[in-house]
């Protein structure tokens, strides 16, 4: 029991949908009245499960519900789950960025977290000044930071720009410096979210090597969230799977990854239909991948069909982008109407439209793949609607005598795009 460095007991987090804050004055007064009488919060017993694919029936949602786990000193715990499963919410609670609605976190020692690009950085301060600022936030003395600063700067690879304000850094440079600070200031517990995906391959290898050294060489604890299953297998010693705010599986890193991938296989479907999926701008009715096929052959074309209706008038061009990622969440290819000089989508409110995208011979390896859809205006900019991993499909087969090797990155496959209003 003395080896337990972090313990979560019955952690739950509830949010109110659609509004900033806890709700109306009436709700707050009702909560206060129950509190002064020593009774349970009346809103703790209501609320939907955190399933982002379904419309809400309640004003409240449980982002996390009854989370219990413990971590021993020197362990590397992998936290796995789809987008929206509650991983980042859990890390923010463990980092004390936000508090749980119910439950207790018990920890020993200093906690350092890297949750988002540039977390804790001041844009007007230089990289060197931000190292001292972050170190002070983590509870280090100036002398302790000074003894490590050369090592931090060298590891980050930002030596040339270390005396430049970080507002001029790229996102990759911010991640490099942020991770270097968090890893070298000797925290007892290091919490790392998916931010390492922003860095280049060279830095990712350095970061994973550093985390291995922190855990095995220095006996420190690491909590690691990633969609890259290979990283989880190689780095972690244990893991658990979050699904809709609940821990659905806990075991070794390999068992946890296998369970997570088995969930993806259960969700394989050639057609997915929805009663109401979207927002006030657009409603999506169905998404199809090679309709009528249980799986796609390694030499087959990939046909993606989307049916939708625009709900708001717009004078801007509307485009749909489709990104295909593999089991480790590495982007394999990206296509969409934005590749064409004009968009086939009609800016007509209430018209049910059907978009067909045929990707000719993408040469995907055998395995599971997911499709993420983005609906954008003016071919770029922030998405009006993003549907992560909206449908999953499987590729089977092998090509003898030829190597099919895919690497992370964006390619522009030959595509045929059609519209059927």
What is the distance between the alpha carbons of residues 32 and 167, in angstroms, rounded to a whole number?
A: 43
Q: How many other CB atoms are there within 10 angstroms of residue 48's CB atom?
A: 17
Lowest mean pLDDT among 199-203, 206-210, 403-407, 412-416: 403-407
CATH number of 165's domain: 3.40.50.300
pLDDT in tens, 137-178: 877 888 989 998 999 999 888 899 999 999 998 878 888 888
Same domain, 257 and 326: no
The Cα 230–Cα 249 span in angstroms is 18
42 near 23, Cβ under 8 Å?
no
Mean pLDDT of 29-51: 62
Q: What is the CATH number of the domain that holds 277?
A: 2.70.50.60
Q: Is 63 contained in some domain?
A: no
Of 59, 105, 226, 6, the C-alpha closest to 97 is: 105
Residues 253 and 275 in one domain: no
CA distance 298 to 367: 10
> At 55, is the pLDDT very low, low, confident or very high (cuts 50, 70, 90)?
very low
How would DSSP label each residue in 227-259? S-HHHHHHH-SEEEEEETTEEEEEE-HHHHHHH
- Using the predicted structure, report yes or no on whether residue 53 has a pLDDT greater than 90: no
Query: Is 101:11 a contact under the CB 8 Å cutoff?
Result: no
Sign of CA pseudo-dihedral 151, 152, 156, 159 = negative
Q: What is the mean pLDDT of the chain?
A: 80
**Which residue, chain included where needed, has tokens 């410096």?**
177
Both tokens of 79, joined, read 């936290």
Is 388 part of a structural domain of the chain?
A: yes
Q: Which helix (H) or strand (E) element contains residue 134?
A: helix 127-137
Please give the DSSP secondary-structure letter assigned to residue 115.
Answer: -
Residues 6+ apart with CB under 8 A from 361: 299, 301, 413, 414
Q: How, if at all, do strands 415-420 and 352-359 pair?
A: antiparallel
Sheet with 111-114, side-by-side order of all strands: 111-114, 189-192, 221-225, 76-80, 238-243, 246-251
Domain boundary among 207, 229, 263: 263
CB 363 within 8 A of CB 262: no
Torsion of CA 111, 114, 115, 117, to 10 degrees: 150
Among 226, 242, 263, identify where a domain stops: 263
Q: List the domain range (segments joined by +) for residue 391.
A: 271-420
Reading the block at residue 365, the tokens are: 């390896």
Question: Is it the case that residue 265 has pLDDT exceeding 90?
Answer: no
Q: Residue 25 domain-assigned? A: no
Kindly state whether residues 73 and 136 are assigned to the same domain: yes
> What's the predicted TM-score (pTM) here?
0.65
Give dist(CA 178, CA 192) in Å, integer. 11
Of the candidates 195, 243, 284, the one whose C-alpha atom is nearest the C-alpha of residue 90 is 243
Do 114 and 243 have their domain in common? Answer: yes
Total structural domains within the chain: 2
What letter does residue 27 receive in the DSSP assignment?
H
Shared domain for 300 and 178, answered yes or no, is no
Question: pLDDT, tens digit, for every residue of 280-334?
Answer: 899 999 999 988 888 888 888 899 999 999 999 988 889 999 999 888 777 888 8
Residue whose token pair is 């409110």 = 349
Q: For residue range 182-210, list pLDDT tens digits in order.
A: 888 778 888 888 766 666 677 777 777 88
Residues 275, 257 within the same domain? no
Same domain, 284 and 242: no
More confident residue, 30 or 388: 388
Partners of 190 in the β-ladder: 112, 222
| 241 and 299, same domain (yes or no) | no
% pLDDT > 70, the chain = 82
* 235: in domain: yes
Query: What pLDDT score was predicted for residue 412?
Result: 40
Say which residues have a Cβ less than 8 Å from residue 407's Cβ, sequence separation at least 6: none
Domain-located, residue 14: no
Confidence of residue 373 (pLDDT cuts 50, 70, 90): very high
**Is residue 280 domain-shared with residue 222, that is, in the same domain?**
no
- Residues 231, 88, single domain; the answer is yes
- 155 and 257 fall within a common domain: yes
84 and 179 assigned to the same domain: yes
**DSSP codes of every residue in 258-326:** HHHHHHHHHTB-SEEEEEEEE-SSEEEEEEEESTT-SSEETTS-EEEEEEEEE-S--SS-EEEEEEEEE
Q: From 246, 263, 280, give the residue that closes a domain.
A: 263
- CA-nearest of 315, 352, 353 to 337 is 353
What's the pLDDT tens digit per position in 86-131? 888 898 898 888 888 889 999 888 887 877 656 678 889 999 999 9
* Domain presence at residue 301: yes
């Amino acid at each position: 029991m003395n080896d337990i460095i972090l313990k979560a007991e019955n952690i739950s987090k509830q949010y109110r949908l659609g509004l900033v804050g806890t709700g109306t004055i009436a709700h707050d007064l009702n909560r206060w009245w129950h509190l002064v009488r020593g009774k349970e919060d009346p809103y703790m017993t209501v609320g939907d499960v955190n399933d982002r694919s379904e419309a809400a029936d309640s004003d409240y949602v449980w982002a996390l519900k009854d989370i219990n786990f413990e971590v021993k000193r020197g362990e590397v715990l992998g936290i796995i789950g789809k987008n929206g499963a509650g991983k980042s919410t859990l890390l923010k609670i463990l980092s004390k960025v936000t508090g749980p609605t119910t439950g207790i976190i018990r920890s020993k020692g200093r906690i350092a977290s890297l949750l988002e690009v540039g977390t804790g950085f001041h844009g007007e301060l230089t990289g060197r000044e931000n190292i001292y600022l972050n170190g002070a936030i983590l509870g280090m003395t100036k002398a302790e930071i000074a003894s490590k600063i050369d090592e931090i700067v060298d590891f980050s690879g930002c030596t040339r720009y270390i005396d430049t304000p970080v507002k001029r850094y790229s996102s990759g440079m911010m991640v490099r410096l942020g991770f270097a600070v968090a890893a070298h200031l000797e925290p007892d517990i290091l919490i790392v979210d998916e931010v390492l995906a922003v860095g280049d391959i060279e830095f990712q290898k350095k970061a994973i090597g550093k985390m291995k050294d922190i855990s095995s060489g220095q006996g420190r604890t690491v909590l690691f969230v990633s969609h890259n299953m290979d990283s989880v297998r190689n780095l972690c010693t244990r893991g658990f799977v979050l699904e809709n705010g609940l821990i659905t599986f806990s075991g070794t890193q390999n068992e946890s990854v296998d369970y997570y991938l088995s969930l993806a296989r259960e969700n394989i479907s050639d057609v997915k239909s929805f009663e109401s999926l979207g927002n006030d701008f657009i409603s999506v009715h169905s998404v199809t991948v090679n309709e009528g096929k249980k799986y796609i052959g390694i030499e087959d074309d990939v046909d993606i069909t989307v049916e939708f209706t625009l709900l708001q008038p717009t004078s801007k061009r509307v485009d749909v982008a489709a990104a295909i990622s593999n089991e480790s969440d590495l982007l394999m290819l990206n296509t969409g109407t934005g590749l064409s000089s004009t968009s086939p989508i009609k800016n007509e409110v209430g018209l049910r439209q059907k978009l067909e995208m045929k990707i000719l011979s993408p040469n995907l390896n055998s395995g599971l793949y997911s499709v993420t859809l983005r609906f954008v205006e003016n071919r770029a900019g922030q998405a009006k609607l993003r549907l992560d991993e909206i449908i999953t499909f499987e590729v089977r087969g092998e090509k003898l005598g030829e190597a099919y090797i895919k690497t992370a990155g964006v390619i522009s496959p030959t595509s045929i795009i059609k519209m059927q209003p």
